[in-house]
Amino acid sequence: MNKKLLAGAGLAFTLLFSPLSQAFAAETTGDLRKVDNVAHRGASAYAPENTIAAFDKAVEMKAD
């Protein structure tokens, strides 16, 4: 095995599993991020695609 590859893999695993990365991750738990639920063709499984009925059904199903 190549020594550079082995050293790189060791460094990557050290950074991945270090307690320092866990400390920084704990600080951001208070932030909430909203994910947009987009139905760009409407609820096409329930009505024909790109129709008013499909978009009305998507809004009814809580699409943004």
Return the DSSP state at 30: G
Higher-scoring residue by pLDDT: 21, 60: 60
The structure's pTM equals 0.43
Tens digits of residue pLDDT in 35-54: 777 777 888 888 888 888 88
> Structurally, how many domains does the chain consist of?
1
> What residues make up the domain containing 24?
3-60
Predicted confidence at residue 27, as pLDDT, reads 52
Q: Which of 32, 51, 34, 30 is nearest to 42 (CA)?
A: 51
Note the pLDDT of residue 29. Answer: 55
Environment class of residue 51 by beta-carbon count within 10 Å: exposed (0-12), middle (13-18) or buried (19+)?
middle
The C-alpha atoms of residue 36 and residue 51 are separated, in whole angstroms, by: 21
Q: What is the average pLDDT value for the chain, to the nearest integer? A: 76
Question: Which range is least confidently modeled, 9-13, 14-18, 19-23, 57-61?
Answer: 19-23
